[in-house]
Amino acid sequence: MTSQSANVVVIGGGVNGASTAMHLARMGAGRVLLVEKGHLAGGASGRSGAMVREHYLHPTLVRMAQEASAIFHNWQDAVGGDARFTQTGRLLLWGQNDADAVRANVAMNRSLGVEIELLTPSDIAEILPILNTEGVAVGAYEPNSGYADPMATTYAYAQAAQDRGAEILTGCAVTGIRTAGGKVVGVDTDDGPIEADAVVAATGPWVNRLAAPLGETLPVTPIRVQMVHLRRPPSLESLDTAVIDNTTGAYFRTNAGFKTLVGGEAPGDLEEVVNPDAFGLNADHDTITRYWDRARFRFPGFAAATQMGGYGSLYDMTPDGNPVLDKSAAVEGLYWAAGFSGHGFKLSPVTGRMVAELVMHGECKDHPVGDFRAGRFAEGDLLTGDHPYEGRAHQ
């Protein structure tokens, strides 16, 4: 075993754990140890759509996403290494039912400095004639959006953490949180105990495996989601703009040259509660067909695509679709960073800093980390926008 004591143990080697470890190391937290039961980016992070955007429905999230987007655009200086961020622009489509909310949200985003513009269906038809605008009442375009490589991103955080002296232990599962007198004193692992003054659990859908034995169950539900690969035919080869079709719940982003990744976030796409240690890693045949149908409805050219299978992964959903970034209510020195609900990739440069500041200073200097407190669910004070879109599990 590499290390038997640390000032801070971060559990979970996804983007959020790795970013937190990097920020802790950079802030001088002492000996920082990142412990991962499998390999880095082996959870949701490695299978992420990894899209980066700024448009959100709540000002706190808009400001966090703006800061994070600036980091993806300037990765080499801000983090180091290469997250392989590709700027593609992002087109959002909504039906009439969401039109008023879209106008209000786009105005709020613009007032905070987000570059986003409203589009009519005829604007969209002009910009992207390969798109069928049926059912679209309003659109919006974010030119600065794009996607990164989620595995490269995770490893870049990890390397930056190691460059500041952090250690990384993979293939080592934390089996429990060690406490004494209501305070954290370390963790138990399948490789022996590790003493620590503070522990951060960035363990995604597995968070309650560690929280529940302490009497503190978080409202985080593991939901299986699926992604489908389509090889674009020549008529769609130029389609590299990310498209979020809120009328059907489909989203599209280019992948590996001429392939498109198609994901789904209609309510029915986010209902499969699973055991995070035993879920279908391949896409189901009926889901591939359903997502392909949505793709060819919006882009008729997809009828000539080659369907190339797909994969399953996990969202760690909370009731308001936003994470818990908080100290444990049960144990002093223990912190939660979980429940990212399918949108925690783009936020990771900032959420990692917020959690590191929470550990080091008990608060975050420039974002209201209290908005993400675990207690908001019991208080009925959910983190939601004033103008939610219909039928979206996260906004």
Among 8, 9, 15, 61, binds ligand FAD (CB under 6 A): 15
Using the minimum distance from each CB to ligand FAD, give the nearer residue, 11 or 61.
Answer: 11
DSSP tag of 332: B
Using the minimum distance from each CB to ligand FAD, give the nearer residue, 123 or 323.
Answer: 323
- Which residues lie closer than 8 Å to 25 by C-beta, 6 or more apart? 32, 160, 161, 164, 165, 166
Q: What does the per-residue mask of binding to ligand FAD show for 116-155, with x meaning CB under 6 A? A: ----------------------------------------
- Cβ-closest position to ligand FAD: 14
Distance CA 386, CA 57 (A): 7
- Residue from 239, 381, 359 nearest 300 by CA: 239
SS3 content of the chain, % helix, strand, coil (to 5): 35, 30, 35
Task: Identify the bridge partners of residue 141 per DSSP, sorted by sequence position.
Answer: 91, 117
Using the minimum distance from each CB to ligand FAD, give the nearer residue, 249 or 344.
Answer: 344
Among 6, 22, 51, 114, binds ligand FAD (CB under 6 A): 51
Backbone angles phi, psi at 200, to 5 degrees: -115, 125
Distance CA 210, CA 206 (A): 8
Q: What does the per-residue mask of binding to ligand FAD show for 355-384, with x meaning CB under 6 A? A: ------------------------------
User: Which contiguous run of DSSP H or E holds residue 281?
Assistant: none
Residue 265 as a binder of ligand FAD (CB under 6 A): the answer is no
Q: What does the per-residue mask of binding to ligand FAD show for 210-229, with x meaning CB under 6 A? A: x--------------x-x--
Helices (H), 169-259: 207-211
- Residue from 211, 395, 209 nearest 317 by CA: 395
Residue 174 as a binder of ligand FAD (CB under 6 A): the answer is yes
Residue 48 as a binder of ligand FAD (CB under 6 A): the answer is yes
Contact stretch for ligand FAD (CB under 6 A) within 9-17, 25-33, 81-89, 385-393: 9-17
Distance CA 186, CA 302 (A): 53
Among 29, 44, 156, 331, binds ligand FAD (CB under 6 A): 44
Among 340, 364, 372, 395, binds ligand FAD (CB under 6 A): 340
Collapsing DSSP states into helix, strand and coil, what is residue 335? Answer: strand
Distance CA 4, CA 331 (A): 21
Residue 85 as a binder of ligand FAD (CB under 6 A): the answer is no
- Residue from 14, 350, 351 nearest 154 by CA: 14
Distance CA 299, CA 283 (A): 21
Residue 50 as a binder of ligand FAD (CB under 6 A): the answer is yes
Among 345, 352, 358, 359, binds ligand FAD (CB under 6 A): 345
Distance CA 237, CA 124 (A): 18
Q: What does the per-residue mask of binding to ligand FAD show for 318-337, with x meaning CB under 6 A? A: --------------------
Residue 177 as a binder of ligand FAD (CB under 6 A): the answer is no
Backbone angles phi, psi at 201, to 5 degrees: -100, 105
Amino acid at residue number 149: D
Using the minimum distance from each CB to ligand FAD, give the nearer residue, 236 or 325.
Answer: 325
Q: What does the per-residue mask of binding to ligand FAD show for 16-35, with x meaning CB under 6 A? A: xx-----------------x
Count CB atoms within 10 A of the CB of residue 190: 10
Minimum distance between the CB of residue 253 and ligand FAD, rounded to whole angstroms? 7
Contact residues: ligand FAD, CB under 6 A: 11-17, 35-38, 42-45, 47-51, 173-174, 202-204, 206, 209-210, 225, 227, 263, 313-315, 340, 342-346
